[in-house]
Amino acid sequence: DTAVSQTPKYLVTQMGNDKSIKCEQNLGHDTMYWYKQDSKKFLKIMFSYNNKELIINETVPNRFSPKSPDKAHLNLHINSLELGDSAVYFCASSQGLAGAFFGEQYFGPGTRLTVT
Amino acid sequence: AQSVTQPDIHITVSEGASLELRCNYSYGATPYLFWYVQSPGQGLQLLLKYFSGDTLVQGIKGFEAEFKRSQSSFNLRKPSVHWSDAAEYFCAVGGRAGGTSYGKLTFGQGTILTVHP
């Protein structure tokens, strides 16, 4: 069983399109995250949800909108895609922020988004 | 602001050789430090972590890391590398409890490890 899964694994789309990436965790965690890994390989946190509530919201364009239908799912919707959105997006989960604090954060395999 | 630098983008070693991956951090207080590994097609997996106490920490898969405050470093080591260790390795620093960075990890750029037979 995959603990944190993401779909799709690869996403190629054109500028201006709207796309979504889905994330699901079966670990029973209450906190989920989205990270972006840019072309220089830096992995940066974008959002975090705890029990479906937004608790971390880094400086991210409004075109990015996370949605958490329940605490096992955190989806990322991106409007009006731009070339600079090309990156690998990682979902992660933990039990509270304390889980991340202690390194008990579980990551998905990533979604490689390519905007042409 | 906290930051992490991994000076080596790509390292190649022979199987059985020793390994050291470098990590330097910038943080205003005693840092909480982590090493993660990412195998192809997999998510990041925690190798080891340092919070306090003994500056030499042991992790999974035979890895260890040493925290050196004077050098702001947290280098990852393994005495004898196995072919299955080929992966990408990320160093990270975590935010302290009570601060605005709590629960956030700041990662380095990663070091790709290639192992020759």
**In chain A, what are the domain boundaries?**
4-106+108-112
The pLDDT value given to residue B116: 94
The residues of chain B scoring below 70 in pLDDT are 96-103
The matching CATH number, chosen from 2.60.40.10, 3.90.950.10, 3.90.320.10, 1.10.260.40, for B3-116 is: 2.60.40.10
Judged by CB atoms within 8 Å, which residues 72-111 of A form the interface with B?
A: 90, 92, 94, 96-98, 100-110
B42 touches A at CB < 8 Å: yes
For A4-106+108-112, give the CATH class: mainly beta
Model confidence at A43: pLDDT above 80:
yes
- Is the pLDDT at A1 greater than 70? The verdict is no
Phi-psi region of A97 (alpha: psi -120 to 50; beta: other; left: phi over 0): alpha
β-pairing, A10-13 with A31-37? Answer: unpaired
Eight-class DSSP state of A59: S
Q: How far is B71 from chain A, CA to nearest CA, in Å?
A: 22
Of B100 and A65, which is predicted with more confidence? A65
- H or E element, residue A100: helix A96-101
